[in-house]
Structure 1
Amino acid sequence: MLPRSPVDELPLEDTGGSELTYCKICTFLKDPQVRIMGLYGIGGVGKTTLLKKINNEFLGTSNEFEVVIWAMVLKSPDIEKIQQVIWNKLEIPRDKWETRSSREEKAAELLRVLKRKRFILLLDDIWEGLYLLEMGVPRPDTENKSKIVLTTRSQNVCHQMKAQKSIEVACLESEAAWALFRKEVGEEILNSHPDMPMLAKVVAEECKGLPLALVTLGRAMAAEKDPSNWDKVIQDLRKSPAEIRGMEDKLFHRLKLSYDKLPDNASKSCFIYHSMFREDWEVYYFHLIELWIGEGFMGEVHDIHEACDEGKKIIKTLKHACLLERGGSREKRLRYMM
């Protein structure tokens, strides 16, 4: 059999607008001190797209890595399945691999081979820290010159994986968001009525720069020439966005995973408390904590100081889950991401 290609091309639909983030990633990929790098951000923001772009960048070019490995991890990681993906990229004879009956034996075999190779491992959608040696992956260092790049929704996972560099993947700026939405809708629809460009811009603004929302809505409206239906979509986005075709399955299901992963009911209650306020509401964090305390979200605490400490922990949890971010340019102001 012919030796396997060191890089498998992945299907990639580049949404654009993330060039600065990608340039930053490439800079750290070349940094010998950065062996593990994490990309974190809210669901649907384009982390997987960036990781695929990194993978495909190695196609047809000479690079320092002998093998490029892509593995999807997901919320409940299947270690043996990940091991199988890694084996598929390595030149380990099938009969030798199949005699390794246990996960530990397979890990030992992968470790034996990977220790002799300069590899880059791309791990997509990690929800909790992984034990690399348990999978059979040696930890990258300056001696073996291998690298790991991972995507996650939580900055905490980057810390658990001991990433030397963590990069937040943010939503698109307004111009890039409009360009993406315009591309998905198509010029024919935008030119079909004098009011259409204005209505389309309002819809794009309601997506708040989230690429998955822009693509989902853009494709849903790509054949809609009736301005009254665009007006209805705008109203639905402001009142009941889940009723729009494709939004629940393609967008909200992914975002709900971040909510479900919150560690306790207090964090979840504090997050959904935002639904009482107007869109893009910003607040000083100490005022937000006071509101949470007033609602009784902090549970059984001995005094106001302990309650405030609990509130600060919840803010940190929501920020690391990319469900809460700093508001405007002020460090002490916050706003919700959803």
Structure 2
Amino acid sequence: MAELFLSPLIQLLFDQLASGELLNFARRHVGLGEKLNKWKHTLEGIQAVLDDADGKQHDEKQSRAVKLWLDDLRDLAYDVEDILDEFATEALQRKLKGGDDDQASTSKLRKLIPTCCIGLTPSALKLNVSLVSKIEEISARFDEIVERKGRLKLEEAADRGRSNRRRGTLEPTSLMTDAYVFGREKDKEAILQVLLSEKRSDARDKVSVIPILGMGGIGKTTLAKLLFHDEKVQSFFELKAWACVSEDFNVVRVTKAVLKMVTTESCDDDDLNLLQVKLEKNLKGKKFLVVLDDLWNENYDDWTILRAPFLAGAPGSTIVITTRNERVSLTTRSIPEYHYRLEVLSKDACLSVFTQHALGASNFNAHPDLQESGEKIVERCKGLPLAAKTLGGLLRTKKDRNEWENVLKSKIWDIPEERSGIVPALMLSYHHLPPHLKRCFMYCSILPEDCEFKEQQLILLWMAEGLIQPPKEDTQMEDLGSEYFQDLLSRSFFQQSSTKKLRFVMHDLIKDLAQRIAGDICFRMEDEIRGGNRRRFPKKVRHSSYLGDAYDIAKS
């Protein structure tokens, strides 16, 4: 999994190497600028082959050598980050000692230091080792990494974005894939009340947008399908269309998909103008329902271009959007303050989903010997229907109790991706994060199990670990940390606690995702002690925690 966090880490190194403070510092030291520039070019060459390295990890002949190369590259990248931090600290100390000559720059640089550290004297931040020897050591390691890259025959990817897309998965269609849907009756009725409301016909916007929001695998598409095929919806709207937008936001492709469902006219043309004119003509004066499934793009200008032909519809026309990102919801919605946030299933509904796929029934009446194991498996799903469906599907041909026990003991992440929708669904959310948020999310793997936390608590931890980028001149680090937190919250990585208004939680599978990505980079000592283990502190750990039984992050 090294490639998953190497890309964001290397991107952040690029940002550091391009910072004005670092460049000014380097200019005052003979040869340092040339070294940093060489590091930058070397990193660019390495970044270009990461996708190929990721693919070759699964090649039996090369997997071990490539994994070792990625591990060593990760360690080197962290050490480069450390020495760049030392440069920044040294530059800051000199600025702070510079008196009033450069007060504006000094004020700006002070913001690089967390508020809790402002009282520290420059001597407290003094470097302990020679920067010169560190520079030489890192340069030598870069040379070795490049030499090994050549021996491994790693090549630049033709499509840099390939790793961010779902590989080998089919886009969902408007047809129902499940004969039975459990636990979504209230959700369906709540949206139908808005969808079929005649009052909306008098609204300023003739075409309304209703976003359905929730984490990956929670059932947004399934709910949209229930609405799409409802009998009341069939009679209320003159036209209906469905298009899967996905992470590749292609206005031509989506416009074509909608046009094909509302007209018999040929739409093989790739001219967006002609396509939109045709679509507008077919929608004009008609009340329609269009579902845009799996929307990721937050760009308002892109949205207005896609939406343009829909504005010709009659009052009451509606676009239903499914998305994981609240910012997409805010960009697209037309009804003030309205979006529908989908929550996890109840325990009973999740159990029914599982048994339907595992046993073809809504209960264990025909297989009472499997009930205990089955109920424990469902507990691990934590109300996520995709997890219940995936695990149920794995056991569909297995009726032996020991086989069910094996699934119960195994980790969801051990299921091959070709047999599981969970891993690709949750990993896709991670891939869509910008580099600085990927690191902050990965760090969350050290949080205790089932803990509830405050926003400010997590921000302070991020600040202490140096995970928050230096803020702009008019921004405090705490405010920037709050932006990070709210962004992860809006993308469904955090959820508001159901019991305490100002506290937040992570779904167990999202937490598992963070731990899977972090690997041995983050280490929770309390887990080892609680489990009776006393293994040595891993050598490659960068972030560690020991909160102990007496410490409760939710009460602090």
Identify whether the pair has TM-score above 0.5, normalized to the shorter chain: yes
1:273 corresponds to which letter in structure 2? Y
- Map of 1:290 onto structure 2: 460
Q: Does 1:106 align with 2:271?
A: no
| Residues 40-49 or 268-277, more deviating | 268-277
Candidates 404, 424, 427, aligned match of 1:230: 404
Q: Which residue matches 1:127?
A: 296
Q: Aligned letter for 2:326?
A: Q
2:212 maps to 39
Structure 1 residues 184 and 229 mapped into 2: Cα distance closer, same or farther (>3 Å)? same
1:172 alignment partner in structure 2: 345
Pair 37,193 (structure 1): closer, same or farther in 2 beyond 3 Å: closer
SS of equivalent to 1:323: coil
1:104 to partner: Cα distance: 1.2
How many Å apart are 1:265 and its aligned residue?
2.2
Q: Secondary structure at the match of 1:76?
A: coil
Q: Which moved more, 1:188-197 or 1:205-214?
A: 188-197
Question: Which residue of the partner structure matches residue 317 of structure 1?
Answer: 487
User: Would the alpha carbon gap of residues 101 and 259 (structure 1) be closer, same or farther in structure 2, given more than 3 Å must change?
Assistant: closer
Amino acid at match of 2:236: E
State which of 453, 470, 473 in structure 2 corresponds to 1:300: 470
Which shows bigger deviation, 121-130 or 221-230? 221-230
Deviation of the 1:123 alpha carbon:
0.8
Distance 1:30 1:265, change over 3 A: same
Greater fraction helix: 2
2:394: which partner in 1? Answer: 220
Q: Distance in 2 between matches of 1:49 and 1:119?
A: 20
Q: How much has 1:48 moved relative to structure 2? A: 0.8
Match of 1:144 in 2: 315
Tell me which residue corresponds to 2:355: 182
Q: Displacement, 1:181?
A: 1.5
Q: Aligned partners of 1:91 and 1:223: how far apart in 2?
A: 43
Partner residue in 2 for 1:336: 506
Aligned partners of 2:390 and 2:421 also within 8 Å: yes
Larger Rg: 2
Kept in 1: contact 2:283–2:312 (CA 8 A): no
Cα pair 1:110 1:136 within 8 Å, conserved: no
Judge conservation of contact 1:115–1:144 (CA < 8 Å) in 2.
no
Give the structure-1-normalised TM-score: 0.85
Superposition TM-score, scaled by structure 2 size: 0.53
Query: Which of the pair is proportionally richer in strand?
Result: 1
For the 8 Å contact 1:108–1:136, the answer to whether it is kept is no
With CA pairs under 8 Å and 6+ residues apart, which has the higher RCO, 1 or 2?
1
> What is the rounded CA distance, in whole Å, between the counterparts of 2:366 and 2:235 in structure 1?
48
8 Å contact 2:285–2:312 — kept in the other structure?
Answer: no
Question: Secondary structure at 1:71's aligned position in 2?
Answer: strand
- C-alpha RMSD over aligned residues: 2.9
Report Cα offsets for 1:313-332 as digits up to 9, x if no partner: 11211111111011232122
Distance 1:220 1:147, change over 3 A: same
Is contact 1:132-1:139 (8 Å) kept? no
- Cα gap change, 1:256/1:9 in structure 2, threshold over 3 Å: closer, same or farther? closer
Asked if 1 retains the 8 angstrom alpha-carbon contact of 2:333 and 2:339, the reply is no
Higher mean Cα deviation, 41-50 or 123-132?
Answer: 123-132
SS class of match (2:396): coil
Counterparts of 2:187 and 2:403 in 1: how far apart (Å)? 36
Give how far 1:281 is off: 2.4
Amino acid at match of 1:124: D
Contact 1:48/1:151, CA 8 A, preserved across alignment: yes
Aligned to 2:443: 273
Deviations 1:144-173 (A, max 9, x none): 331111101111111111342210111101
Cα distance in 1 for partners of 2:457, 2:270 equals 57
Deviations along 1:216-261, one digit per CA (max 9) or x if unpaired, are: 0011123334434333322323xxx211355874111111111111
Identity across the alignment (%)? 25
**1:175-214 correspondence runs (5 A):** 175-186=348-359, 190=364, 196-214=370-388
Q: Give the conservation status (yes or no) of the 8 Å contact 1:110–1:137.
A: yes
Distance verdict in 2 for CA 1:233–1:133, change over 3 Å = same
Distance 1:72 1:273, change over 3 A: same
The structure 1 segments of at least 4 consecutive aligned residues displaced by more than 6 Å after TM superposition are: 191-194
The one of 187, 190, 194 equivalent to 1:24 is 190
Aligned to 1:90: 262
In 1, Cα distance between equivalents of 2:386 and 2:376: 17
Asked whether the equivalents of residues 293 and 322 of structure 2 are also in contact (C-alpha less than 8 Å), the reply is yes
1:203–1:234 CA contact under 8 A, matched in 2: yes
Aligned partners of 1:278 and 1:149: how far apart in 2?
37
- Change beyond 3 A, Cα 1:62–1:292: closer
Q: Please tell me whether the aligned partners of residues 494 and 504 of structure 2 are also in contact (alpha carbons under 8 angstroms).
A: yes
